[in-house]
Amino acid sequence: MTKQTADKPIVAKLLVATIKFLSWFSLKNQQKIGAGIGWLLSKFPNYNRNTVRANIKTAYPHLSSQEQRVLSNKTLIENVKIFTELGAIWEWPATRQLSLIKNIHGQELLDAAYQKGNGILMLSPHFGNWELLGLFLSQKEPLTVLYQPPKLKSIEDYVLKVRSKSGNNPVPTDVSGVKSMFKVLKQNKMVAILPDQDPGKSGGIHAPFFNHPARTMTLVSKLASKTKAKVLFIISERLADGTGFDIHILPSDEGIDSTDELTATTALNKGVERCVAINPAQYLWAYKRYRHPPAGTLDIYKNNEGN
């Protein structure tokens, strides 16, 4: 669970005001603002640049140093766009938001899952703009989403409001939230989870992610094995021309519902890797995915300042 900081209402008001201000711009211009900030971040040492470079070096060791640097710079630009796009994704009317979806790849997988009649477990890695996916998936019926509160407590009411306005049902990352997800899936409805952040020591095990150990949640396999829900991956890819996004729906790997935790978490990470491969720069490499390594494994983030 995310540890929330002390209440900072002034900071929260500034963030909300910034998002509302950005909503007056077109999506393309929102992205240009994000690209400019990301470009600046790529030019001098800072926390985000250091983290991105460490992650890229670890996940793509076959790339040359120059290729890693180019991908890292592109990633910083794409990752900042996630914030500047919130003007559109959180403030625009639903019809205008949905008009940003230009193509849907793999719709037949979702249609088949609906026709089967079991619960559906949608896994949305931190790729492109994942905030758009809640609205997309809730068009047929309300979507239950595992909700992790923001670090800044003062902004939580706003975040819950914008994420719930389409009929979504956010549930907390605690025992009550997990029980709610089991209940929803057993009722043959849909649940969505962002499966690719550190679940904490008690919530996961280390499994290979781009051939390097990353602590990975076991909740997905527990939900899938006990409810027989269909597991699919879904991402929202940002289009280069600034007109919107393409939705990609992908099948999960065999073994994701295994009762063997290593088999299941390895399959989960393989699915995330396939999503990332669609456009590696749009993955949230600014997050320390490899933090808390297992004993005997190098912490890739140590002594990384100034890179």
Q: Encode pLDDT of 262-307 as tens digits.
A: 999 999 999 999 999 999 999 999 999 999 999 999 999 997 765 6
- Express the helix, strand and coil content of the chain in percent, nearest 5 each: 50, 20, 35
For CA atoms 79, 239, 85, 219, the dihedral sign is negative
Angle at which helix 219-227 crosses helix 175-186, to 10 degrees, equals 30
How many other C-beta atoms lie within 10 A of the C-beta of residue 216? 29
Give the span between the Cα atoms of 145 and 221, in whole angstroms.
16
- Give yes or no for a contact between 290 and 52, defined as CB atoms under 8 angstroms apart: no
Angle at which helix 65-84 crosses helix 47-59, to 10 degrees, equals 130
Residue 128 has pLDDT above 80, yes or no: yes
Residue 12 has pLDDT above 50, yes or no: yes
pTM of the model: 0.95
Q: What is the pLDDT of residue 1?
A: 46
Q: Encode pLDDT of 176-188 as tens digits.
A: 999 999 999 999 9
Residue 24 has pLDDT above 80, yes or no: yes
Q: What is the pLDDT of residue 163?
A: 86
Q: What is the pLDDT of residue 292?
A: 95
Q: Give, in order, the Cα–Cα distances in Å from 114 to each of 73, 121, 186.
A: 40, 11, 14
β-partners of residue 122 are 192, 232
Query: Angle at Cα 194 formed by Cα 193 and Cα 198, nearest 5°?
Result: 120
Burial class (CB in 10 A: 0-12, 13-18, 19+), 148: middle
Eight-state DSSP code of residue 201: G
Average pLDDT of the residues in 73-84: 98
For CA atoms 184, 109, 168, 178, the dihedral sign is positive
- Give yes or no for a contact between 203 and 217, defined as CB atoms under 8 angstroms apart: yes
Confidence tier at 5 by pLDDT (50, 70, 90): low
- Share the mean pLDDT of the chain: 94
Q: What is the pLDDT of residue 8?
A: 82
- Give yes or no for a contact between 208 and 292, defined as CB atoms under 8 angstroms apart: no
Q: What is the pLDDT of residue 33?
A: 98
Question: How much is the CA Rg of the chain, to the nearest whole Å?
Answer: 19
- Give yes or no for a contact between 127 and 275, defined as CB atoms under 8 angstroms apart: yes
Residue with structure tokens 């004993």? 295
Q: Lowest mean pLDDT: which of 165-169, 216-220, 241-245, 265-269?
A: 165-169
